[in-house]
A = this chain, B = another copy of it.
Amino acid sequence: MSKYWNENTKNLEPYVPGEQPKDKQYIKLNTNENPYPPSAKVIAAIKNAANEDLRLYPDPCCEELRQTIAGYYNLTAEQVFVGNGSDEILAFSFAAFFDPGEAAILFPDITYNFYPVYADLYRLKYKLIPVDNEFTIPVERFFIQNGGIILPNPNAPTAKYLPISRIKEIVEYNCRYSERIVIIDEAYIDFGGESAVELLNDYPNLLVIQTLSKSRSLAGLRIGFALGHKDLIEGLETIKSSINSYTLDRLAIIGAIEAFKDEEYFQEIRRKIITTREYVTKELTAIGFHVIDSRANFIFISHSQIYAGELYQKLREKGVLVRYFNKPRIDNFLRISIGSEGEMGSFLRILKEIL
């Protein structure tokens, strides 16, 4: 803190990402990274693009990437926005569509911890809608006057999924009555959920945000995208172009394009992760864990015999990193990313030793 900071900055509490310790090699199940490498075609394309053209600015409009994503989802390029990870796009969305002078925005009380940070950054009022004891999002409670709604589906860190029909009810309500945007944050949708993309052409107030960090194994390349009505995309472009003309570098653009072209590999690795998740869930249930039904590449678990905070520590000592949120309602749960079969085998073995 210093006297040169402005008032808003003095009051901010930034988001804290999962730890990246360097003290030793861990089985790293704490940041929902994909255990499988990116497509070999992505790697080859990046190596090929690492050339003297790096002296030139990237395309500020990311035209080719937007065309590629549009083609993949049967949309037009005007319905696609791309950014430096989905977090940046979330931040731009809060800046573009939510208004400090308006009614409170709504999101679940248990959700992605970045939302209240964005709200504070842009001085927005927000109202937390409590999920139930099984972490289900109570759709009806969103049917109130609001300044906009944001929901992850599946939710984080609970992994709990809302069927598309329920998402539609929220979007429909806000389209008709509140006339406000609904943002569905689908960072984990590729692991078994159904995307709200199919609702896009019916609802001009729906924005769907996804990322290449999880299902396409590109956390290290920083690419996210948003899909929605062209007027919403134009709003995001307005914010982006008021901050940074070029948010995606040349290599990220190339890598992202190739990732969408390798459908076979994408299907293969997401199936593998789903299979591993189902197997791990069964094993954990067998040894007394309560595992919240997951459609993500992570699971949210608790055990009646051992406190989650203690289990987190013991796993860490034995070389397994998982995520523990020391917060009300979820302080007896651990979030475990789904690693490779081998990693999850080791995790289960170590867990059984501890128990």
Contacts and interface: CB of A to CB of B under 8 A. Distances in A.
A57 B31 contact: yes
Interface stretch (A115-123, A154-162, A279-287): A115-123
Contacts of A58: 220, 222
Interface stretch (A238-246, A299-307, A308-316, A324-332): A238-246
A186 B310 CA distance: 50
Given A91-B243, A120-B242, A232-B2, A42 B54 contact: yes
A181 B221 CA distance: 33
Interface in A187-219: 204-205, 213, 217-219
A54 B38 contact: yes
Contact of A219 (B17, B46, B56): B56
A219 B57 contact: yes
B231 A249 contact: no
B221 A251 contact: yes
B95 A244 contact: no
Interface in A228-265: 229, 231-232, 234-235, 237-252, 255
How many copies of this chain?
A: 2
Contact of A242 (B3, B118, B237, B241): B118
Nearest to A20: B59
Contact of A218 (B37, B43, B54, B220): B54
A84 interface: yes
A111 B260 CA distance: 41
Interface string A85-109: 1011001000111110110000000
B245 A220 contact: no
A237 B59 CA distance: 27
Contacts of A87: 243-246
B231 A15 contact: no
A354 interface: no
B43 A55 contact: no
20 contacts: A5-B231, A7-B99, A9-B95, A9-B96, A14-B237, A15-B241, A17-B57, A37-B55, A38-B55, A46-B50, A46-B54, A57-B220, A58-B220, A91-B242, A117-B242, A118-B242, A222-B246, A222-B247, A249-B251, A251-B252
Given A6-B102, A84-B247, A249-B249, 9 more contacts: A14-B241, A15-B241, A20-B59, A50-B50, A84-B244, A91-B244, A95-B121, A118-B243, A222-B246
By Cβ-Cβ distance, the 8 closest A-B pairs, closest first, are: A37-B52, A14-B241, A2-B231, A6-B99, A220-B250, A55-B217, A54-B220, A17-B245
